[in-house]
Amino acid sequence: MTTATKAPVTQTFAQKSTATDTPAAAVLTVTDATFAVEVLTEQLPVLVDFTAAWCPPCRMIEPVLAALAAEEAGRLKIVRLDVDTSPQTQAAYGVLSMPTLMLFRAGEPVTTLVGARSKAHLLRDLAGLLD
């Protein structure tokens, strides 16, 4: 009887990417202090993601927004606002649930979407509002 030796199994795992090397860098973080400049005075339509670090659906929609920001660059600006660190803006727009996505055009909110959704669903919801 012979015994076979097994080669050690090695696995490699991809390193977790950071915001600087992924499309997520295209999603700008805004605060109460920068909201007016980055959103209200912007010429492009701006999709604001009202989010929170403790919110699982907010984390689910992050890659969707990153992909959309990369694909729609020059046509749509996407920003993220953490409601825990910027409560004044959250209160000003009556945001009660996270994630809330609010599309602004010419400094005014034109539509509000509550909850995480796929990219295809989000594009359907925004159809006709970006032109």
Task: Assess whether 68 carries a catalytic annotation.
Answer: no
Contact 88, 35 (CB under 8 A): no
Per annotation, catalytic residue among 46, 58, 64, 79: 58
Contacts of 126 (CB under 8 A, 6+ apart): 47, 76, 103, 111
Strand intervals (E) in 1-131: 28-30, 46-51, 77-82, 100-105, 108-114
58 three-state secondary structure: helix
Task: Assess whether 55 carries a catalytic annotation.
Answer: yes
Per annotation, catalytic residue among 30, 47, 55, 65: 55
**Residues with a known catalytic role:** 55, 58
